Chain A
């Protein structure tokens, strides 16, 4: 395991701060984004021995999901205590998306479908990384993504013909 020192953290910051920032910018009010990002990075430092050598970004995204859930529950960013069972980081009411059609279509999908669609469409996650963030098997993630995209297409088509 690489030494978890300042240099390691600096490298992690440089590599992933922007991705985390964008994750929150998509899901939280702009005023909270920096705080939420800082909280995840602070957790990465405090729990640096838990951060895996590879697959760092998925670990950060998982942590980000928990931080976001706690934030929504308590109305302000708080340190991660017990992880909630189900992370819903794709609540359409909370997304900062400007395209109302997209927001409306997302609203008719299940929270699970929404979550995986956004992690794929916006965070660009696929394969093992996506499975890692979701905490499921690779096969399960592939299948879930495929189903979610299919349901998105159906919902979109329905909306267009409505």
Chain B
């Protein structure tokens, strides 16, 4: 529908120049840079921050316990493919990827609260619902025969050490209010009194013409803002008034007016100012988050190529203890203005240290029906002729049979062993991180979770909190 799109002049020369950027994605060694700055600026190294920094040492629990939120620490990124493809484009990425737990085991409590809470989590790091290892659980349509096969997990070289890790909860009570709605609206230049309708705080008319804001009553206080007047791909709503003499409907010139005549919407390309790109877009997104009352320093930012100079997209990934939490803000910019904004306003409160199981126990949990397995096919593979993308979903139709035409399966030989594929997975890597999860009450928490991986990079996740700190009777 070319009518709807602006037509930025094709500028191959400029695209070529932009693509030739020698520093795209380049990251400094921040520790070294920081030291160099101190040297030059005579900033005393004995201050609290430097002492705290020096006191951190990477260790088994280092990724979770030792690194304070927001510090860029090169080299702490988890080594697995799961989640490492979150976004492309410019930005800073040093926190470990958020872990995603399959919530097949939370039952009915999942529902709307979770889906809106999970709405902000990156689909790209989601994993398909895997059946419990015992079998008998219905496979989702995204599952492949590979994961539908029964899987036996063995740990190799993993540890028996137990320990503790910090858990967190999002506190919507602090954010879900008229005041918050008003503050965010004001920061975006949206006028109007917040009103509560259907349990949702609204600012602005919800008519698809003017800008509007919504605050959801979910576990993370999701916020969404959209300004249609700045959307380069939107058309102003048309008044579909039938006119006599309208031509072009049937190729003839009769122009018969009537109820069925449809006037094409008036869609001329909009003249919108160019949006900042790359690092400048990131800087603007930081301002937007800060103005909305969010601590912009707790996030990592990535600007993505929008393909049009009028639009810029920036994603901001919440980080806590050197981990991405799975909460993501999305900001789209047109010129200096915000065209749309999606995020989560509920602050995180620490829940204290929880006992966590050892790596070996975590592997055992993959076969425990109380925990199930959250399988992730993270590397592109071709299994049984079906291509796999990073979400484990079949990306294309099954590859055509080598012979070209379908044929009936071969006859089964009497007395022969019947094929019953069992996949054996040896897990050699374990990373303790955080996973966003919805409790039966609808509250959203960050739980210590393990990401367990095999040598080929395939990874599974399981909750790490020890049995003694879980309430198995909840929700009954």
Chain A residues engaging chain B, CB cutoff 8 angstroms: 6, 9-11, 13-19, 21-23, 25-26, 33-35, 37-39, 41-42, 45-46, 54, 56-57, 95-99, 101-102, 105-106, 117-118, 121-129, 149, 152-153, 155-157
- A88 to B454 CA separation, bound complex (whole angstroms): 52
CB contact between B12 and one of A18, A38, A156 (< 8 Å): that residue: A156
User: Would B22 and A38 count as touching, CB distance under 8 A?
Assistant: no
User: Would B28 and A124 count as touching, CB distance under 8 A?
Assistant: no
Nearest CB on B from A120, distance (A): 8
Report if B41 contacts A (CB, 8 A): yes
User: Would A17 and B335 count as touching, CB distance under 8 A?
Assistant: no
- A153 to B283 CA separation, bound complex (whole angstroms): 29
- A79 to B37 CA separation, bound complex (whole angstroms): 12
- A37 to B18 CA separation, bound complex (whole angstroms): 22
User: Would B16 and A102 count as touching, CB distance under 8 A?
Assistant: yes
Report if B286 contacts A (CB, 8 A): yes
User: Would B22 and A95 count as touching, CB distance under 8 A?
Assistant: yes
User: Would A122 and B23 count as touching, CB distance under 8 A?
Assistant: yes
CB contact between A96 and one of B13, B22, B39, B280 (< 8 Å): that residue: B22
- A138 to B33 CA separation, bound complex (whole angstroms): 33
- A11 to B278 CA separation, bound complex (whole angstroms): 19
- A8 to B33 CA separation, bound complex (whole angstroms): 17
Nearest CB on B from A130, distance (A): 8
- Known contacts A10-B49, A25-B23, A26-B22; A149 and B14 CB within 8 A of each other: yes
**A23 contacts which chain B residues (CB < 8 A)?**
23
Q: Interface of chain A, helix or strand or loop or mixed?
A: helix
Report if B166 contacts A (CB, 8 A): no
**B283 contacts which chain A residues (CB < 8 A)?**
15-16, 19, 56-57, 129
- Quick one: closest B residue to A14, CB to CB? B297
User: Would B280 and A14 count as touching, CB distance under 8 A?
Assistant: no
**A15 contacts which chain B residues (CB < 8 A)?**
283, 286, 296-297
**B78 contacts which chain A residues (CB < 8 A)?**
none
Chain B residues engaging chain A, CB cutoff 8 angstroms: 11-14, 16-24, 26-30, 32-34, 36-37, 39-41, 43, 47, 49, 70-72, 90, 92, 273-283, 286-287, 296-297, 303, 312, 335-336
- A105 to B18 CA separation, bound complex (whole angstroms): 13
**A45 contacts which chain B residues (CB < 8 A)?**
37, 41, 43
Nearest CB on A from B74, distance (A): 11
User: Would A18 and B28 count as touching, CB distance under 8 A?
Assistant: yes
User: Would A18 and B276 count as touching, CB distance under 8 A?
Assistant: no
Nearest CB on A from B176, distance (A): 27
Sample (28) of A-B pairs whose CB atoms are under 8 Å apart:
A6-B47, A9-B43, A14-B70, A14-B71, A16-B283, A18-B27, A18-B28, A18-B92, A21-B27, A22-B24, A22-B279, A25-B22, A26-B22, A37-B33, A38-B33, A41-B37, A42-B37, A96-B23, A99-B20, A106-B17, A117-B14, A121-B14, A121-B17, A124-B276, A126-B273, A128-B336, A129-B276, A153-B13
**A97 contacts which chain B residues (CB < 8 A)?**
20-22
CB contact between B13 and one of A35, A125, A156 (< 8 Å): that residue: A156
Nearest CB on B from A127, distance (A): 6
User: Would A18 and B279 count as touching, CB distance under 8 A?
Assistant: yes
User: Would A21 and B33 count as touching, CB distance under 8 A?
Assistant: yes
**B41 contacts which chain A residues (CB < 8 A)?**
41-42, 45-46
User: Would B18 and A121 count as touching, CB distance under 8 A?
Assistant: yes
User: Would A14 and B20 count as touching, CB distance under 8 A?
Assistant: no
**B26 contacts which chain A residues (CB < 8 A)?**
18, 21-22, 25
**B92 contacts which chain A residues (CB < 8 A)?**
18
- Quick one: closest A residue to B35, CB to CB? A38
**A13 contacts which chain B residues (CB < 8 A)?**
34, 37
Nearest CB on B from A5, distance (A): 10
User: Known contacts A21-B33, A45-B37; can you find 5 more A-B pairs with CB under 8 A?
Assistant: A15-B283, A37-B28, A99-B16, A105-B13, A153-B14
